[in-house]
Amino acid sequence: MPKNIRVAIKNPGKVLVLETIPNTLKAFQQAVDGPIELIRPLWSSAADLDVFVNENGGILAIPPPQQVMPWTLSQPALTVHGPILIVHRADDAGNHTLDLTDDQVHALKKIFRRPT
């Protein structure tokens, strides 16, 4: 398991940024400003991505909510509070994380092309 990994972080009202952070629980918690919760929007599973948010974001009403997945006829919008951390899931059990690939970064930039 790599010591540092390239991740994407999306803060409310800002554009998506790429960062290299330690591949540790503590670093993941710092990225989302608190305890982490794994969510899996439909787009994340197909791209081998794990999406982490602040577990208490809704309860604490951390700054404005942001949409993680737009509303469609088959799926309602998914809205979270606070920062979003996106990592490359190396296996289906979610046991390993790796650097985001260039293809994953390109896809994420399309999904989060505007600050929300």
Task: Give the tens place of pLDDT for each residue, 30-84.
Answer: 999 999 998 877 667 667 888 898 888 755 555 555 555 444 445 555 677 788 8
Least confident of 7-11, 93-97, 110-114: 93-97
DSSP 8-state symbol, 102: H
Q: Does residue 105 form part of some domain?
A: yes
Least confident of 6-10, 34-38, 63-67, 99-103: 63-67
Domain holding 8, by residue range, is 4-111
pTM of the model: 0.80
- Joined together, the tokens standing for residue 32 give 């989302």
Q: Does residue 34 form part of some domain?
A: yes
Structural domain count, the chain = 1
* 57, 18 Cβ separation under 8 angstroms: no
Least confident of 25-29, 50-54, 58-62, 91-95: 58-62
State the Cα–Cα distance between residues 79 and 103, nearest whole angstrom: 24
Q: Does residue 116 form part of some domain?
A: no
State the Cα–Cα distance between residues 43 and 61, nearest whole angstrom: 25
State the Cα–Cα distance between residues 24 and 44, nearest whole angstrom: 21
Per-residue confidence (pLDDT) for residue 73, from 0 to 100: 46
Q: Does residue 52 form part of some domain?
A: yes
Higher pLDDT, 55 or 6: 6
